[in-house]
Amino acid sequence: MSKSIAFFDGNFIPTNEAQISIMTHALHYGTAVFEGIRGNWNNEKNALSIFRMKEHYQRLLDGCKLMMIDLPYSCEDLCEITIELIKRSGYKEDVYIRPLAYKSAEIVANLKLQELESNFCLIVIPFGKYLTTDHLRCCTSAWRRIDDTMIPPRFKISGIYVNSILAKTEATLAGFDEAILLNADGHVCEGTGENIFLAKDNALHTPSLSENVLPGITRNTIINLAQNELSIPVIERSIDRSEIYVADECFLTGTAAHVTAVTEIDRRQIGQNEAIGPITKLLQQHYFEIVKGNNNKYLEWCSLITA
């Protein structure tokens, strides 16, 4: 039987008992750092495969450094807490793991990070598909991606997600599935919760990390797989908006979104008659096998938790 349990204030407790005050700093200002980690259920192995957990926690701790959130946990401690929560929860299905490191001080009118205490909590929820289609129709957002000189988008800082949420809301209200944001320079940046790749003339292109993208763990996985499994070069560079329209293929990557084809952007079809392109398809096949823990070569990326 699965139970909704959270790790809160250093203890494993029922999720509905994990409560915070309305005075909490993070609630007012978005002064928190989070992660999104997937556990993929593997029926044959009767195990949950947590994908690249260490890298997620390293990124969380990097964000904590910026936000002056001092956690009493190392990366290894956070992995152990997660494994313990998964074991106690008993889910036998795909799950989403959400750690949150936040400014827990119950002080409202204070903008000095150095004076605010912090806390950490962790929840796990059953989670199937994030995107509702595997053929995304996207638009270029009127909202621009926030710049490193404003709030660094290389970390998953809670407050920054208002930028993604405005873009996603705008796109879906206009009938699209997802928005592609340009950065302040007008270059292609990323989706609201995904990195973007284009395939053109048998090479992959993706915005470089200095374009204000989140250094996605799925992005890194796909770069590895393209180079090592498909022998396709990956070029990290700045990309113009108009390049997407004439790409052979386009896809988005993210922990929640997996690897999902974009078949239309700004009402222009990408590639041939709405089909998922051959490179996207091959990468999807490798990726899904790996994240489930079914490819021995990449098993070190998976923490297999047996039920």
For the bound state, the minimum distance from the C-beta of residue 192 to ligand PMP, rounded and expressed in Å, comes to 6
Nearest residue (CB) to ligand PMP, 39 versus 105: 39
> Parallel, antiparallel, or unpaired for β 5-8 and 11-14?
antiparallel
For the bound state, the minimum distance from the C-beta of residue 127 to ligand PMP, rounded and expressed in Å, comes to 13
Selecting among 156, 168, 200, 297, the annotated active-site residue is: 156
For the bound state, the minimum distance from the C-beta of residue 257 to ligand PMP, rounded and expressed in Å, comes to 7
Nearest residue (CB) to ligand PMP, 37 versus 86: 37
Identify whether 156 is a catalytic site residue: yes
Q: How far is Cα 268 from Cα 8, in angstroms, rounded to an integer?
A: 47
- Of the candidates 51, 47, 41, the residue with the CA atom closest to the CA atom of residue 290: 51
Nearest residue (CB) to ligand PMP, 18 versus 167: 167
Q: How far is Cα 63 from Cα 42, in angstroms, rounded to an integer?
A: 31
For the bound state, the minimum distance from the C-beta of residue 34 to ligand PMP, rounded and expressed in Å, comes to 9
* Contacting positions for ligand PMP (CB under 6 A): 36, 164, 190, 193-195, 214, 216-219, 253-255
Nearest residue (CB) to ligand PMP, 105 versus 283: 283
Nearest residue (CB) to ligand PMP, 161 versus 245: 161
For the bound state, the minimum distance from the C-beta of residue 164 to ligand PMP, rounded and expressed in Å, comes to 6
Q: Which residues are catalytic?
A: 156
